[in-house]
Every structure is written in structure tokens, then in C-alpha cells.
Amino acid sequence: MVERSPEELAAPEHLEQLRALLRQGDFFADLSVIPGSQSGLLALSRDYEIFVCTAAMEFPGSFGPKFEWLRRHFSFIPTNRVVFCGDKSAMRADFLVDDLALNLARFSGQGILFATPHNWRERRFPRVKDWPDLVEHFLDGKLNGQEQTRP
């Protein structure tokens, strides 16, 4: 199944406005924190080495605002574990959690899909519905229906 980009979900009359908004670096500066993400990542960071990988090359103006947003809301993640890239398959890790199946398809480890409206038809990867669901999968050691060994 082909996932739909956020641009495909926008009404045609709003498409250019959406594209302009995404090109503005400060768009990323004031985004709300997804409920459960801070406590979830903090809990996972006790047992796992957490890296934040963001494909920022398409929106170069987003580097500074994204980095500052991460520092403000996720200060427990060391700055040397924040990776800005163009292709997430360059990451060498055991797991990659993402909302775009495109990023998971070329990843060499276990991809985990964060369920969103633009990927609702995608079935190639284990799905999690929210942060508590993701944390439960990792802390209970169950990913893709198989028992996983905790580090």
C-alpha cells in the first residue's frame, strides 16, 4: 500500500500555503509535544540508548528551531544523540520508530510504524498507536508479536 504524504491530504486550495508553511523553519519551533512522548522516551532511556533522527534536509531552515525545540522539551537526550539527516537508512540502530514507511523500508534494523492518518493503509511494519503503546512494546519485550531481549 502506498502511504499518503501530508501534502496529499491537504485540499488543493490549501496546498501552496501548506508547502510555504513547511519551508518556514520557525514552523517547527512551536509545535506541541505529543502526549506521552516525554515520559515515554524518559522511561525508555533507562534501558535503551535513544537517538533522535530527523530528516531535515528538505527543510534546511528547520535545523535551528528543531534543535532548540528538542533541547527545550527533551533535555534528557544528549545533544550528541540528535542526528539531522536526509536519509534515515544511514542510521545503524536496532530500531527505528517513524510515521513514514518510506523511512522504514530501507532501514536495516526493525522498523516500527507510528500510526497516523497518512499511513493507515501501510501493513509492512509493526504498528504502535501512541507513545504508551510504544513504551509497552519495548518494556514488555514484544515487538512484531515476538519476544525481544532487552539490552
The three three-digit cell numbers of residue 54, written as one number: 530527523
What domains does the chain contain, in order, with CATH numbers?
Answer: 6-147 (3.40.50.1000)
pLDDT class of 150 with cuts at 50, 70, 90: very low
Burial of residue 139, with CB atoms counted within 10 A of its CB: 0-12 exposed, 13-18 middle, 19 or more buried: middle
Reported pTM = 0.77
pLDDT class of 146 with cuts at 50, 70, 90: very low
Other C-beta atoms lying within 10 Å of the C-beta of residue 120: 12
* 52-91 pLDDT tens trace: 998 878 778 888 999 999 999 999 999 999 999 888 988 9
